[in-house]
Structure 1
Amino acid sequence: MDIKAYIQSGILENHLLGNNSQEENSILECISKNNAEVKSALNELENTLEILADSNSVEPPQHLKSEIFAKLNFATSAPIEETPILNSNIPTHQLNVKQISPDIVKGRSNVTTWLAAASVVLLMTFGWTMYSNQKMEQSLVAAETQNSLNKKEVEFLANQNTMLLNANKIQLNGVEKHPDMVAHIYWDGSENVYFESGNLPTPPEGKQYQVWAIVDGKPVDLGMYVADGKKVHSMKSVKNAQAFGITLEKEGGSKTPTMEQMMVMGEV
């Protein structure tokens, strides 16, 4: 027999991994007992597999180890009862079967144990990596969305500033009851209207400021002013306005201005 070819055939690796047939294991057991080179190669391969299992494993938390071994039943495995499958009356010289060495079985069990444990840990590591990647992807999407909103806000403010520079600034002065109040309307003469609240006080609870335009002598609703921290607010569009005014109305506004609650007013 070509011993080197036999060693290189993979029969030793398959034996340690439990992939050989019973006959192949019996033959290997017999050869390894009578051939030092085969026995040495088998021992070296067994040690190598154990070293690889140890070096590639990730040291898990103690409680994780306990859970893994509990699930794999390593700690509570009952001893395997040997059941004879051959008639003991048959002469042994007629049987071409050799009992596997306990050392080989123990070595294969250790390798299988560590490979299984390493597989569980690697699977958990892969799951954590997938979870982290998903979280990172969600964060990137959120950042891109926020950047898009910021870009739109910058574009809006740039367009607004351009319009304000080219618009007609109309000062709305306080009426007789409120002589010190001042507000401003920016209107480009065609349709776009922007309102600046000036020094108007914060309206009482349940009240809001409503912006009006006077077109052909009739009041036109331009919307409600909502204090949101912005200096200038875009209102409804209007054409051919002769004047603008602000009234204090109930929350939600009114169809017609309450003249007794007129705060400021100014002509174009």
Structure 2
Amino acid sequence: MEAQQYIESGILELYVYGLLSEKENLEISELAKKNPDIENEIISIEKAVMALSSSFSPFHSAANFEKIKANLKLKDSKTINIKEASNWRHYAGWAAAVLLMLGFGYQTLELTKSRQAVSEAGNEKNKIQRDYAYLSEQNRETKKNLVIVRDIKNTGVTLGGQAASPSSFAKVYWNKETKTTYIDAAGLPDPPKGMVYQVWSLKLSPVLTPTSIGLLDNFKANSQKMFAVSQTYSAEAFGITLEPEGGSPTPTMEQLYTLGKV
């Protein structure tokens, strides 16, 4: 905590009033030795307390007391015996000052707690707003993906796991009219660092001819795992391989993860 934060927090008043724990008192004491601003603030608070307590303890000087006695003489020259006021006023003043200090200290403590509560409420509000924004974005993505899945013009091609990853699977949604192509890669594991999945459209005859139609970039960041790739003009099958980052000109067949015929 910076010096100005200590000064504004109200903890220095609690230190002067003796309302802190031993550990906190030691912490403030050590800080005051190192920081002139803290030390000066403590001295200022102490002076204010002394001035406040003094205002509760008025007294008359001895000279004024004698003048009051002289002014109270009776006609028969007898005087009323007046005893100097006891110290009860002085003590009462100090007691009132202490009570006021305790009350002020309590209010300061409650104000600090209120500030903390407001700060925590603000943080919670920000978190809720972030969560709401994230869920809203996820909802939009889900609706968009449902449109792709439900479009009867899209041909769905299921890609099964191959020797490199038997448990993997994926699905291609290919609109033969518009040539748009989407890959549902939810069945693929996260690629290792420095590697990327590459999607291929395949012509099987007369010879196997692969054509790259895109990379599944930012795989981990895509929570829905639905990717749009390049337009596909013709395909007899689709395959997905694991390639070095940036992709390869031809598929690495040893890293063929999924494959499926149209």
| Cα distance, 1:65–1:225 mapped onto 2, change above 3 Å | closer
Residue 148, structure 1, aligned to residue 104, structure 2? no
Name 1:138's counterpart in structure 2. Answer: 123
Determine the C-alpha separation between the residues in 1 that align with 2:167 and 2:117. Answer: 60
Cα deviation, residue 119, structure 1: 0.6
Q: Please, which runs of 5 or more residues in structure 1 have no aligned partner?
A: 1-61
**TM-score, normalised to structure 1's length?**
0.53
Determine the C-alpha separation between the residues in 2 that align with 1:110 and 1:126. Answer: 24
Name 1:256's counterpart in structure 2. Answer: 249
Cα deviation, residue 146, structure 1: 0.5
Per-residue Cα deviation, 1:177-228 (whole angstroms, up to 9, x for no partner): 9999864212334324123365x6887786543113469x772341137765
Per-residue Cα deviation, 1:55-107 (whole angstroms, up to 9, x for no partner): xxxxxxx8538969x9657xxx9xx9x99584999896369xx9665333332
SS at match of 1:235: strand
Determine the C-alpha separation between the residues in 2 that align with 1:88 and 1:202. Answer: 94
Cα deviation, residue 168, structure 1: 1.7
Alignment: residue pair count: 197
Per-residue Cα deviation, 1:25-84 (whole angstroms, up to 9, x for no partner): xxxxxxxxxxxxxxxxxxxxxxxxxxxxxxxxxxxxx8538969x9657xxx9xx9x995
Q: Name which one, 1 or 2, has greater alpha-carbon Rg.
A: 1
Name 1:246's counterpart in structure 2. Answer: 240
Pairing partner for 2:20 from 64, 88, 103? 64
Determine the C-alpha separation between the residues in 2 that align with 1:185 and 1:146. Answer: 31
Determine the C-alpha separation between the residues in 2 that align with 1:129 and 1:228. Answer: 42
Residue 188, structure 1, aligned to residue 175, structure 2? yes
| Cα distance, 1:174–1:102 mapped onto 2, change above 3 Å | closer
Pairing partner for 2:157 from 150, 167, 170? 170
| Cα distance, 1:197–1:261 mapped onto 2, change above 3 Å | farther
| Cα distance, 1:138–1:205 mapped onto 2, change above 3 Å | closer
| Cα distance, 1:105–1:137 mapped onto 2, change above 3 Å | same
Name 2:32's counterpart in structure 1. Answer: none
Pairing partner for 2:216 from 212, 224, 248? 224
Residue 237, structure 1, aligned to residue 229, structure 2? yes
8 Å contact 2:159–2:172 — kept in the other structure? yes
2:239 aligned partner, one-letter code: G
Determine the C-alpha separation between the residues in 1 that align with 2:170 and 2:127. Answer: 39
Cα deviation, residue 136, structure 1: 1.4
**TM-score, normalised to structure 2's length?**
0.54
**RMSD over equivalenced CA pairs, Å:** 4.9
Residue 212, structure 1, aligned to residue 200, structure 2? yes
| Cα distance, 1:220–1:90 mapped onto 2, change above 3 Å | same
